[in-house]
Homo-oligomer: A and B are copies of this chain.
Amino acid sequence: MMVQVTTTTRPRPVCILGLGLIGGSLLRDLAAAGREVFGYHRSPSTARSARKEGFEVDSNLKETLARAEETGALIVLAVPMPAVEGLLDAIAHETSTCGITDVVSVKTPVMDLVYDKGLEDRYVGGHPMAGTAQSGWKASQRGLFRGAAWVITFDHGYHPEARSVDELAEADQATLGEPGRAALSPTGRPEVSSRWLDVWSQVAQLADSVGAEAIPARVHVHDAMVARVSHLPHLLAAALAVVGDNGGALAFSLAAGSFRDGTRVAASSPQLVRAMLERNARALVGPVDEAIEILTDARERLSATPPDLEALADAGYRSRVRFDARSGRVQGSVSPVEVSSRPVLRLRPGAPGWIRTLVQAEGLGARIEVY
């Protein structure tokens, strides 16, 4: 059955599991936006700290989930990947109706678990592209997501019949070049449930509530993109830090802005970085190969007589200028109104052709406005 979900959908309460940098910042922003929000953190002392600031945070998971079920809350998994499976089991056991989303930076392993637990009809993946080098509740802050991309997955809506990540991949292969086929033929193919459409709308609303921009992307597409623009930067920063260090004390004494910026993310927790990169290993190999190829070519051109780096210097400059033009907020605007430089597509979840619009937005890196 196709349902029409409009912006008049009553916002559900939000239940955040895990109050680190992302979960904690989300809690702060949602509360400030007047949304009903409560949370769980396994450490009683962190839960106490949050309560002292006036937030409804418990360290009892079962009670927290009972409240989520009673109030029809949207559950947000905001824990590191190793904790996701245990929480999904608890959610499956303690709740039967709540929508589920997450903020994990690699989406395939989460989707894998979601299928394992048979929760795909209640799950829509999320990933806010925001962070700092710090982590934990103490690093959480207001406004972290303002203007940031918040990826929202839609794989189950595109291929409702898939029952595993492998089946998803097969189905994607089968509809290659026919974006939105599944949703375009309402007869003859399984349709997505109104429950899942409602979860999708709630997650879009969640991103909007904290000033983020909802960018639709399928799980494997998301993972391929963040490998390029988030995980490769971490690898290059680590490599640069080590090569600089190889130069000894004088090298670090002379290092200035270019080295500082190029190694900034190497200051992040190495455990978190490692876990993120290893979980996206399959998608990361290709971009790493591209980087090695570019550097190997540059190395040859540096050894030539005369050395010639014109092509790489120009290409790097053009790409960076395109990035400035395409990403995030418009710089230097005189208007006090924040203007996004991302294109926008408007849609109504469940309306005919809406999945085609999502696929189109994915290709454009466009943000979605739900009407």
Chain A residues near B (Cβ < 8 Å) = 129-132, 148-149, 151, 215, 217, 221-222, 224-226, 228-230, 232-271, 273-274, 277-278, 281, 284-285, 287-292, 294-296, 298-299, 302-303, 306-310, 312-324, 326-328, 342, 362-367
Q: How far is the CB of A242 from chain B (nearest CB, A)?
A: 5
Known contacts A149-B254, A255-B327: A239-B295 contact under CB 8 Å: yes
| A346 to B343 Cα, complex, angstroms | 59
Is there contact, CB below 8 Å, between A265 and B261?
Answer: yes
| A10 to B238 Cα, complex, angstroms | 47
Q: Chain B residues near A265 (CB, 8 Å)? A: 257-258, 261-262
Is there contact, CB below 8 Å, between A249 and B363?
Answer: yes
Q: How far is the CB of A210 from chain B (nearest CB, A)?
A: 15
Beyond A249-B365, A262-B264, 15 extra complex contacts between A and B, CB < 8 Å: A149-B253, A228-B244, A229-B258, A233-B261, A233-B262, A235-B298, A236-B262, A245-B323, A248-B363, A255-B323, A274-B309, A277-B307, A278-B302, A289-B299, A292-B295
Q: How far is the CB of A20 from chain B (nearest CB, A)?
A: 17
**In the complex, which residue of chain B has the Cβ closest to the Cβ of A265?**
B258
Q: Chain B residues near A262 (CB, 8 Å)? A: 233, 236-237, 261-262, 264-265
* 18 A-B pairs (CB sep. < 8 Å): A129-B255, A230-B259, A233-B240, A236-B262, A236-B295, A238-B294, A242-B294, A243-B287, A244-B319, A259-B323, A261-B265, A262-B264, A263-B316, A263-B320, A277-B309, A278-B308, A281-B303, A285-B299
Known contacts A232-B240, A292-B292: A256-B148 contact under CB 8 Å: yes
| A264 to B246 Cα, complex, angstroms | 23
Q: How far is the CB of A315 from chain B (nearest CB, A)?
A: 5
Q: How far is the CB of A113 from chain B (nearest CB, A)?
A: 17
Q: Chain B residues near A328 (CB, 8 Å)? A: 256
Is there contact, CB below 8 Å, between B243 and A255?
Answer: no
Q: How far is the CB of A359 from chain B (nearest CB, A)?
A: 11
Is there contact, CB below 8 Å, between B362 and A238?
Answer: no
**In the complex, which residue of chain B has the Cβ closest to the Cβ of A239?**
B294
Known contacts A309-B278, A324-B267: A319-B236 contact under CB 8 Å: no
Is there contact, CB below 8 Å, between A238 and B313?
Answer: yes
Looking at A248, A250, A367, the one whose CB has the most chain B CB atoms below 10 A away is: A250
A365 touches which one: B252, B342, B362 (CB < 8 A)?
B252
